[in-house]
């Protein structure tokens, strides 16, 4: 990530295949990216806490996704000197903003799950009837 002033930086173009915003989009909208951003919206958490909270994520994917989100400027890794060292992850101001938006998406999905399941059943029935 560059130290360029965000107000001076060029705007991204998600529709351009060469724009680096595509990588950020991939990180943020991946299943694990969304879930970790929403989970961290509850405050700073340790690796094990995140792993328990986000059911089904492997240690490898948790570590990789946290690295991506940190590189993109959404997550801060904080090492507290102790024996053994204590590591926590928390959202940056940029991360807090995207976390709120991902939280709204998660809430919308959960609220409308019944309608989506009905649509899936209807579509599955139509496919089998063909």
Q: What is the pLDDT of residue 3?
A: 59
99 in a domain, yes or no? yes
84 in a domain, yes or no? yes
Mean predicted confidence (pLDDT) in 5-10: 71
Q: Report residue 47 as tokens.
A: 């690796």
34 in a domain, yes or no? yes
16 in a domain, yes or no? no
> What pTM, to 2 d.p., does this model score?
0.84
Mean predicted confidence (pLDDT) in 55-71: 97
15 in a domain, yes or no? no
pLDDT tens figures, 14-51 = 999 999 999 999 999 999 999 999 999 999 999 999 99
13 in a domain, yes or no? no
Provide the domain count of the chain. 1
- The CATH number given to whatever domain includes residue 71 is 1.10.10.10
Q: Which domain holds residue 81?
A: 21-129
């Amino acid at each position: 990530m560059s130290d360029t002033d965000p107000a001076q930086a060029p705007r991204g173009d998600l529709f351009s295949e060469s724009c680096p915003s595509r990588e950020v989009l991939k990180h943020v909208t991946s299943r694990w990216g969304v879930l970790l951003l929403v989970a961290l919206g509850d405050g700073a958490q340790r690796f094990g806490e995140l792993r328990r909270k986000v059911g089904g994520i492997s240690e490898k994917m948790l570590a990789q996704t946290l690295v991506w989100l940190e590189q993109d400027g959404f997550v801060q890794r904080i090492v507290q000197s102790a024996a053994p060292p204590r590591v926590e992850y928390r959202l940056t101001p940029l991360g807090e903003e995207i976390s709120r938006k991902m939280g709204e998406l998660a809430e919308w999905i959960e609220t409308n799950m019944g309608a989506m399941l009905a649509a899936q059943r209807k579509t599955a029935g139509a496919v089998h009837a063909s």
